[in-house]
Structures are given as C-alpha cells and as structure tokens.
Amino acid sequence: MAKVKYDLEVYTYQIDIVHHLSNIVYIEWMEIGRIKLLEAMGLPIEELERRGILPVLTETQIRYRKPIYFGDKVHGEIWIGELGAASAILNFSFYKNGNILAAEGWQKGLFINVETKKPHRLTNEEQERFEKFLKSK
C-alpha cells in the first residue's frame, strides 16, 4: 500500500483563541490530501469532471491527539482504508515536528454522476488506480 505524504503550513490566521491550530484547518488539510491522492492516482479533479463524475463527502471524523501550534512543522498522510463499488473511506494522519501524531481521522466519500446526481460505480480501470493506495487487509 502506498500513502500520499504532503507537507503543510501553519499560518497565524489558523490559530484559535487558545493559541493552537483551529479544528476547521484539519478539514482543509483533508481536502488538500484528497486532491493530492487523486492526482497521484492519475485522476485529478479535471479528469474526473471530464469523465462526468465527481467526489462528494458523506462523513468526516477527526481525533485530536496533540495540539499543533504556530511554528510547528506538519505533514499529512492519506491512504484508502476501504474501497466500495462507488465509495471509499480515506484515512488521514497528521504529524508535527517529525513523527509526533497530532491528529488522525477518516472521511467517507462517494462518486456521483454529474448529470444524474446518482452514485457512479467505479470502472475496473478506476478501481485499479485506487488499489495502489488501499490498505492491505
């Protein structure tokens, strides 16, 4: 299984009233991860749109382990935890200052047909692209 790893920046405007990273930023970082995962799979948003399918989120869960502060060096990791016929569960880990686990979470997503707004069942070719990033059972 391959993971997509990406570096993240902490900006002053992302710091909340208790002086650590605001929880909404983790949602933004998950979005960055999803885009990077699709690009690594060779299915960037533009390609999905050309094919007439787009991803939508149905659930998000985050568990905060250690606070992130301004000045911390942060990187994220994303991989696929489960793959269905039209959906996937994406797993995330966020580390600060090397290998300190700051947060982990998951999101469930669904592919929809742009015209019908109904679920899009992944083709064999699309499934193969996902499987490289699928956690081994």
- Domains identified in the chain and CATH numbers: 4-131 (3.10.129.10)
pLDDT of residue 125: 93
Among the listed residues 2, 6, 20, 21, the one whose alpha carbon sits nearest the alpha carbon of residue 93? 6
Write out residues in the chain with pLDDT < 70, as ranges: 137
Contacts 24+ apart (CB under 8 A), 113-119: 113/52, 113/53, 114/49, 114/52, 114/53, 114/54, 115/52, 119/86, 119/87
β-bridge partners, 122: none
pLDDT of residue 17: 95
Torsion over CA: 63, 67, 70, 9 (sign): negative
pLDDT of residue 104: 98
pLDDT of residue 121: 95
